[in-house]
Structure 1
Amino acid sequence: MREYLVFRLYAPLASWGEAAVGETRPTATHPGRSAIIGLLGAALGIRRDDDAGQQALNDSVRIAVKQRSPGTLLRDYHTAQVPSTQTKVTYRTRRDELNAPRKAINTILSSRDYRGDGLWTVAVWATEAATISLEALQAALERPRFTLYLGRKACPLAAPLAPRRMPAETLRAALDSDFAPIDPGEQRLLRLSDDVIYYWEGGAAGLDGEASGVESNDVWDQPLNRRRWQFGPRVEYRRFARDANPKEAR
């Protein structure tokens, strides 16, 4: 039996960044390893330029996610005016940029994707090389050092994380932990169904000892260097399933 730290993620808007090139900023349907490590790091007060702290956290935990609802896709269309790069000219403030000669100002178009009203359960467990305990992580999530948000600063939490440590026979049992409803009408408001998706790392049979029905995918969300925004690949496993806690039985 292993000990897990489980908590819940909900916000009206969340953005789980994927590889972004050019004017499009897409979002995944669920938080990946980079997003969870970033959230835990913010709770602990580890700054992005603290390479040793970031590495210690990254080496200390493994993560898994149960997607109760991916939410709905929302696309925000942006226009922004920025001046062209000029030799020997430095823009120190936004006001400096907008005061540049009119002929030097260009309009940049972009779109940013969000997930609206998504709901996820996260499970974290310690590695053999862990130097940061689950107890410390739970305490940090209860009293975070930095403001927590789901992917972007425009996406603050809208429900308690409700972190708790618990022993469980399997990872799936930990992810199936129940939480108090966010709202009495949670099932209807968040369009929850009995169909869920589990995402995890560490082997095809890592969810519950069974490898049947498991899919895998290479994802680039393994943090390598936060200051330079460098990420490496990892294998993410997933399984589509019926919720072990059907809504009708609640």
Structure 2
Amino acid sequence: MTEYLVFRLYAPLASWGEAAVGESRPTATYPGRSAIIGLLGAALGVRRDDDEGQRQLRDSLAIAIKQRSPGSLMRDYHTVQVPASQAKVTYRTRRDELSAPRRVINTILSSRDYRCDGLWTVAVWLTPQAELTLEQLEQALKAPHFPLYLGRKSCPPAAPLAPRREVSALLRDVLDSGFPPLCGKDEGDESRALRLPESALYAWEGATDALDGNGQGVESSEVWDMPLNRRRWQFGPRVEYRRVVRAREER
């Protein structure tokens, strides 16, 4: 039997960053390890430049996700004007930048992707070398030190995270446990309002059969979302397992 902390993530907009090249800022369909660690760190009050606090979070927790809905993709188009670099010229504020001569102003085009009306269940549990407790994390999510957001500051949660601790022999039983409906009176109302798909995606770390003791239909890949240094924005690889479960297969 293992003790888990389980909570829910929902917002009209969420952005789960992936590797970004050039002007495009894509989003994954569900939160990765870095996003969950960042959210829990904000709840605890661990700053990005607190290397020891970030290390404790990284080494103490294992995570799993149930994606009830990836939401729909929205792409936000940006134009930003910035002055070109000039020798012996320092722009200390945004006002200084905008006051620069028009001849040195450049326009940067970029796009940022978001997931609209996505819904995810998250479970975390302690590793053997953990220096934190699930009770600390639960209380932090109920009364966070810093504001919480789903990937970007423009994406605050739109529903209570409703964190709770559960003890179970199977990880899937915890991820399948219910929460109060976001809308309507029951899960059927919620499913229709959010247009939840007929299948759910499970993603976890650990072992191939860690979800429910059944390793069939499981795929794995190396994902680069292990936070190594928040100040330098460095990430390392980990192995993630995934399985899609159709509604008729769910218990």
TM range (shorter): over 0.9
Scaled by the length of structure 1, the TM-score of the pair is: 0.96
Amino acid at match of 2:214: E
Match of 1:214 in 2: 218
Structure 1: how far apart are the matches of 2:132 and 2:224?
A: 24
1:26-76 CA-to-partner distances (Å, cap 9, x unmatched) read: 000000000000000000000000000000111110000000000000000
Q: Detail structure 1 runs of 4+ shifted over 2 Å in the superposition.
A: 242-246
Alignment match of 1:190 (pick from 188, 191, 194): 194
Amino acid at match of 2:203: Y
Question: SS of 1:180's equivalent?
Answer: coil
Amino acid at match of 1:209: G
Match of 2:203 in 1: 199
Scaled by the length of structure 2, the TM-score of the pair is: 0.96
Deviation at 1:194, TM superposition (A): 3.2
Change (3 A) 1:153 1:245: farther
How many aligned residue pairs are there?
Answer: 247
Change (3 A) 1:60 1:243: farther
Change (3 A) 1:144 1:71: same
Question: SS of 1:158's equivalent?
Answer: coil
Identity of aligned pairs, percent? 70
Question: SS of 2:209's equivalent?
Answer: coil
Amino acid at match of 1:194: E
Which deviates more from structure 2 when the two are superposed, residues 187-196 or residues 50-59? 187-196
Structure 2: how far apart are the matches of 1:143 and 1:34?
A: 21
Match of 1:30 in 2: 30
1:146-183 CA-to-partner distances (Å, cap 9, x unmatched) read: 00000000000100000000001111111011000011
Match of 1:6 in 2: 6
Structure 2: how far apart are the matches of 1:152 and 1:189?
A: 25
Structure 1: how far apart are the matches of 2:138 and 2:19?
A: 30
Mapped pair 1:132 → 2:132: yes
Deviation at 1:193, TM superposition (A): 3.0
Structure 2: how far apart are the matches of 1:163 and 1:125?
A: 13
Question: SS of 1:227's equivalent?
Answer: coil
Match of 1:174 in 2: 174
Amino acid at match of 1:237: Y
Question: SS of 1:178's equivalent?
Answer: coil
Structure 1: how far apart are the matches of 2:70 and 2:192?
A: 14
Structure 2: how far apart are the matches of 1:4 and 1:243?
A: 24
1:80-109 CA-to-partner distances (Å, cap 9, x unmatched) read: 101111122111111111101111100000
Match of 1:236 in 2: 240
Match of 1:59 in 2: 59
Match of 2:230 in 1: 226
Change (3 A) 1:245 1:147: farther
Question: SS of 1:117's equivalent?
Answer: strand
Q: Which runs of 5+ in 2 are unaligned?
A: none
Q: Which runs of 5+ in 1 are unaligned?
A: none
